Amino acid sequence: MRLLKHLPLKDWPEADVAALAKAYEPGDVFDETSGPWADHSEGWRRMIRTSYRRWLGYLKEHYPADLLRAPAERITPERVRDLVEQLSSEVRPTSVAMAVAHLYAAARLIAPETDWRWLASVRSRLAARAKRENRLDRLVPPWQTLDLGLKLMEEARKMSSNSRKERDLKYRDGLILVVLSLWSIRRRSLAALTVTRHLEFDQGGVTLLLHPEDTKSKREESFRVPEPILPYFMHYLKIVRPRLLGRDAHDGLWASCKGCPLTGGGIYDIVRGHLKAEFGKAMGLHDFRRAAATFLATEAPEKIGLMPDVLQHTSIDPGERHYNLAHSVEASRRFAAHLAKLRARLKPIKKKD
């Protein structure tokens, strides 16, 4: 079934472009010239734009005359009902609820003086009806994904030189799985890693750094590459990555074979493909975070306090708003050590015939 089309930004009515621009106007807080939503992050703005593009695309296809009306006048109970009915035939209830929630957020941006309580009520009812999919059955324990990553790298090193490209890609994919298993960072943060800005070398090894602008929580994070993983990491940096780069020059840590760094979407597809092939489970990147929390809690509940740092969350104690860099490093080390102990309990993975 064909999904709703999104209306490109260049085709938006001028009134909608102007309304959002006004809402995000940086201005000056002292003379009240800034927009009411000027402090929204770029990630939030992108999410609202995407949802609003779908809303405008829906109107252009079914009610094109509505695009001549003022933005707030188009958002009516009748139109929203039609949108919900169409979306319900195409996507899951949780996605429908999220689309309406984003439309509500956009409505408040473009017409903050309008009474949107009816839309807020619709949003709440859809959210209550939408039963979240049980994702527990798709989670793979982090020590198993860690083993898979190591397995891929070992297999890659044993491949013939005739398949160098395939070998290097397989090695890179394995290292990505290892890093995700030990440090379940978000997709955007993983894709943002560069060699010169995010890697810190010293006599003892390598530390991966995330700067405040790289994280959702807007705070520094770091991950010390464990000693057993260090040889794999350095082999990638010195041998595999330069071969993948070829004549291309970019600073991205995860090199593709297309002359550019891997995007977040590319990393998602790679990881999902390997896990589906190995375990038969369609586990996404965010599921690594769920797996870290779920299995750490079940296997070692006494270490539950590691979760905020491992998952890049702010403190679970409202009185502790700041986690310094040293604390984050220590949490990553302890979590990696815990995974190593759990991994030692498993039998070696047998190769498939």
In the structure, what pLDDT confidence band is assigned to residue 228 with cuts at 50, 70 and 90?
A: confident
**pLDDT (0 to 100) of residue 323:** 35
- Cβ pair 111, 18 in contact under 8 A: no
**pLDDT of 325 over the 60 cut:** no
Buried/exposed code over 265-297 (b: 16+ C-beta within 10 A; e: otherwise): eebbebbbebbeebeeeebbbebbbbbbbbbbe
Domain ranges for the chain, please list them.
9-129, 137-344
Q: DSSP of 255-296, one letter per residue? A: B-SSSSBPPHHHHHHHHHHHHHHHHS----HHHHHHHHHHHH
Amino acid, single-letter form, for residue 334? R
Tell me the CATH number for domain 9-129: 1.10.150
| Domain 137-344: CATH class, spelled out | mainly alpha
* Predicted confidence (pLDDT) per residue in 338-348, tens digit: 566 655 554 44
* Predicted confidence (pLDDT) per residue in 288-315, tens digit: 877 777 766 555 544 444 444 455 444 3
* Predicted confidence (pLDDT) per residue in 111-157, tens digit: 888 999 999 999 999 988 876 555 667 788 888 888 999 999 999 99
* Predicted confidence (pLDDT) per residue in 93-121, tens digit: 888 998 999 999 999 888 888 999 999 99
